[in-house]
Amino acid sequence: MKSRFRLTFVHPCIGRRPGQPYLRTWQMEPLPVAVLAGLTPGDVDVRFHDDRMELIPYDEPTDLVAISTEVYTAKRAYQIASEFRRRKVPVVMGGFHATLFPEEVQRYAESVVLGEAEGLWAGVIDDYRSGTPRRLYRSDERPPLDRSTPDRSVYAGKRYLPIGLVEAGRGCKFSCEFCAIQSFYRSTYTQRPVEQIVAEIKGLKDRSRLIFFVNDNIVSDRAEARQLLEALIPLKIRWVSQASINAAMDTDLLRLLKASGCQALLIGFESMDADNLRQMGKGVNLRLGDFEPAMENLRKHGIRVYGTFVFGYDQDTPETFDQAYRFAVRHGLYLCGFNHLVPMPGTPLYRRLKEEGRLLYDAWWLDDSYTYNTVPFRPARMTPEEIRQSCLRTRRLFYSISSTFRRAFHSQNRSDWTLFRAFFALNLLHRAEIYKRDALPLGDSACRGPLLEVAG
């Protein structure tokens, strides 16, 4: 009898310090792995190893290894691929980094999948089973998502945060300069059929736990968003997601968000400076004039806010950080990210900084001297180290004990007992992350051997 084809998925971590395990703070289910498992033919023997929480059994028999990689996990992904390929096991890679920088990824994998896997993945498996794999598999069109049903059985035996990840759609219609999402999806948005989303939620083992819709912008298409929200109301779930700030100016949409169970939204404010917003192409934020009316509307509807700011654009000075911090505390943001600008390969920002001669590394994500929180380019009005230290200082201020208690008692943060209790735990976790992630090396520092490249 012919043996079943064996496929191994691996989710790489960002990196490890010598002799230390990976950070165990924020391990959520890696949804792309479950989506790929759901697209895999049923007669394939599927295994999954999460590099963030377990040792990878490189000597375990398998016929193919699949790794999805982002820019921050690229170095570790290549290390893992090299170990398998030294054992004569072929590797296929996909994900954002593979699509936006295929020339590099092709050096470390037998095959690379460009774009979304729907419509391609079954063909990849068939080609490897028949011994006729291709170097490149490309999806030039946005595929429909009606077959994108995750197989969560791959998570069995692994301890993830008690949050159910559900994908309602992919992409975003905006074109922010720094965003890899707009580059990958070419500023388009595709939503899954609403009836399939509802069926997936009903099929979750514990629908009482918080659901995280992993959409990059759940209100990217208002008409489709309304259809989804109306369908969620009878389910009586509690959920969070990401959205653009303009949603806060649509009162009817806010009512639907609240009625459907929305507890919080991650919103990218990005900057308090209009010239910065203009340079980053954040027109949707500029059109508001200021954020105050939007914040008032969100507060009236009891929707908590996880805000994000990005620093390193040309108008940023130490005062820019102070403005963002004061705004975040005054409005009682549930959580907030104060992050330095990251030039992701394949984005307009990366191309612009390269043309201006402002990049400090040829490929910062692979450079052994680069560590987490390092600013890999020359800002206009501050030094890279000043940006780094200012981000760290602002995070420490925001997650200080005094700031945490002050924000905890804002009306929207204390309106729900469960989320009020979670507020303290989540803020303390973020406080701890400030120190744990700083200067974290990319890739596993214990891996000393050279990366194994595919023979030309």
In the prediction, which pLDDT does 448 show?
78
Band of the pLDDT at 25, cuts 50, 70, 90? low
Measured CA to CA, the distance from residue 160 to residue 319 in angstroms comes to 39
Residue 168's pLDDT band (boundaries 50, 70, 90)?
Answer: very high
Q: Give residue 141's pLDDT.
A: 86
How far is the C-alpha of 407 from the C-alpha of 333, rounded, in Å? Answer: 7
Work out the average pLDDT over 107-122: 96
Q: What's domain 6-144's superfamily in CATH?
A: Cobalamin-binding domain (3.40.50.280)
DSSP codes joined into one string, 22-50: PP-S-----HHHHHHHHHS-TTSEEEEEE
Residue 208 confidence (pLDDT) above 80: no
SS3 call for 108? coil
Q: Residue 456 pLDDT > 80, yes or no? A: no
Give per-residue pLDDT as tens, 427-442: 999 999 998 899 999 9
Same fold, 6-144 and 162-415: no
CB of 179 within 8 A of CB of 71? Answer: no
Residue 206: the pLDDT is 78
Give percent of the chain above pLDDT 90.
86
Topology of the domain covering 162-415: TIM Barrel (3.20.20)
Strands 262-270 and 169-171: unpaired
The pLDDT of residue 304 is above 80? yes
pLDDT of residue 91: 98
Average pLDDT over all residues of the chain: 94
Domain chopping of the chain, boundaries = 6-144, 162-415
Taking 70 as the threshold, does the pLDDT of residue 2 lie above it? Answer: no
249 pLDDT higher than 80? yes
What does the pLDDT read at residue 455? 83
